[in-house]
Chain A
């Protein structure tokens, strides 16, 4: 029997990259998975690959009305939510001196404000045994050139897990973070203009000597989603090849 048999999961930003790999893993462990994304055609293609245990809801994590519609739909279709993987996030570079207000607002809008309301609006659907996983990043604890705004959003994310673990005491709902290192996804290939150039550069600094794959984050998210991690709370599980560790 799968580790998530009978569970209902939501993965925001589940149409590509880490979110999509996690949807595949959750389904193979027996869950029914809702995924979101902004682009309809990418969502449709993802659900076609994921099969009958997946359902897509086109929605933008930054848009609070979209979130209300999303949870209304999950409530109608399944009536509850067991696992929430808040994965939708964006990243782009801007060195100090060239940080624009638009850069700041867009990244904080999705990664911090969008994440906060994705969690808060999910609470009425969640109960004892529920697991919330926030997608952070190793950049929350390590400086990289031109990534200061993105890094700050991820430090905020990591800290939400502390505060919410305190707030949710007694509810039986756990909150944890998974923090990837450099992972080969459509998003990081965009940073390398369609190639793995950006990833290759990071890989030289990784003790394991390579960048990671989406399914390696999916396995960590599965650990945090399932009862295997029943005594893990408020924690940041870093899957970074050691880049943020040594």
Chain B
């Protein structure tokens, strides 16, 4: 029997990258999984690969109306939610001196404000035994050039797990964070110039400081998320599980 048999899960930003790998892993462990994303063709392709235990709902996490529609649909289809992986997010480079108001607003809207309301609006569907996992990043504790705004959003995310663990005391709902190091996803490629050469240069530079000497694969984050989603982590709360090949540890 799977670790998530009979569970209903939502993975925001589940059509690609870490979110997609996690949806696959959740389904393997017996869950039914809703995934979201903004681009319809990508979402449809993902659901086609995931099979009959997945359903795609086109929604932008930065739009509160979309979130209302999303939870209305989950309520109508399944009546409850057991596992919420708030994964949608991302960042772009902007060194201090070149940070525009638009860069700030967009990054905080998707990574922070969208995340707050994704969680808050889910609460009526969650109950005892529920598990909320927030996707942060090692940049929350590590400085990297041109990534300060993104880093600040992820530090905010890590801290929400502390406050919400206090707020949810007595409900039986746990909140934890997973913080990936560099993971091979379309998103990571997206912050480079897009060429294979450029991506290799970027990851080579980064992995020089990763003790395990490589970038991670999305499945390696997915396994950590399964741990946090399942009863295996029943005594883990308000915690930040860092899966980074040791990058930010030593």
> Which of B165, B234, B239, B245 has the most chain A CB within a 10 Å cutoff?
B239
* CB proximity of B213 to chain A, nearest CB, Å: 7
Supposing A207-B169, A208-B235, A212-B235 touch, asked if A231 and B249 sit within 8 A by C-beta, the answer is: no
> Is residue A245 within 8 Å, beta carbon to beta carbon, of the partner chain?
yes
> Is residue A84 within 8 Å, beta carbon to beta carbon, of the partner chain?
no
| Beta-carbon contact of A246 and B250 below 8 Å | no
CB 8 Å contact bits of A103-115 with B (1 = contact, 0 = none): 0000000000000
* CB proximity of A182 to chain B, nearest CB, Å: 10
| A165 to B170 alpha-carbon distance, docked (Å) | 38
| Beta-carbon contact of A208 and B224 below 8 Å | no
* CB proximity of B164 to chain A, nearest CB, Å: 9
Q: Which residues of B contact A166 (CB under 8 A)?
A: 211, 250
Supposing A231-B212, A231-B216 touch, asked if A162 and B250 sit within 8 A by C-beta, the answer is: yes
Q: Which residues of B contact A237 (CB under 8 A)?
A: 239, 241
| Beta-carbon contact of B211 and A231 below 8 Å | no
User: Which chain B residue lies CB-closest to A234?
Assistant: B249
CB 8 Å contact bits of A209-226 with B (1 = contact, 0 = none): 100110011011011000
| A242 to B171 alpha-carbon distance, docked (Å) | 14
Q: Which residues of A contact B44 (CB under 8 A)?
A: none
CB 8 Å contact bits of B209-232 with A (1 = contact, 0 = none): 001110011001101101100001
| Beta-carbon contact of B165 and A242 below 8 Å | yes
| A63 to B233 alpha-carbon distance, docked (Å) | 34
Contact of B212 among A174, A213, A240 (CB under 8 A): A174
> Is residue A229 within 8 Å, beta carbon to beta carbon, of the partner chain?
yes
Contact of B235 among A169, A232, A241 (CB under 8 A): A241
| Beta-carbon contact of B250 and A245 below 8 Å | no
| Beta-carbon contact of B169 and A239 below 8 Å | no
Q: Which residues of A contact B232 (CB under 8 A)?
A: 219-220, 222-223
> Is residue A49 within 8 Å, beta carbon to beta carbon, of the partner chain?
no
> Is residue A195 within 8 Å, beta carbon to beta carbon, of the partner chain?
no
> Is residue B166 within 8 Å, beta carbon to beta carbon, of the partner chain?
yes
Supposing A170-B213, A246-B163 touch, asked if A232 and B236 sit within 8 A by C-beta, the answer is: no
Contact of A245 among B162, B170, B226 (CB under 8 A): B162
> Is residue A181 within 8 Å, beta carbon to beta carbon, of the partner chain?
yes
| Beta-carbon contact of A208 and B233 below 8 Å | no
Q: Which residues of B contact A246 (CB under 8 A)?
A: 162-163, 165-166, 238
| Beta-carbon contact of B165 and A245 below 8 Å | yes
Q: Which residues of B contact A170 (CB under 8 A)?
A: 213
A: which residues have CB within 8 A of B?
161-163, 165-166, 168-170, 174, 181, 207-209, 212-213, 216-217, 219-220, 222-223, 228-235, 237-242, 245-246
A–B Cβ pairs within 8 angstroms, 6 of them: A166-B211, A207-B237, A228-B226, A232-B243, A234-B250, A245-B238
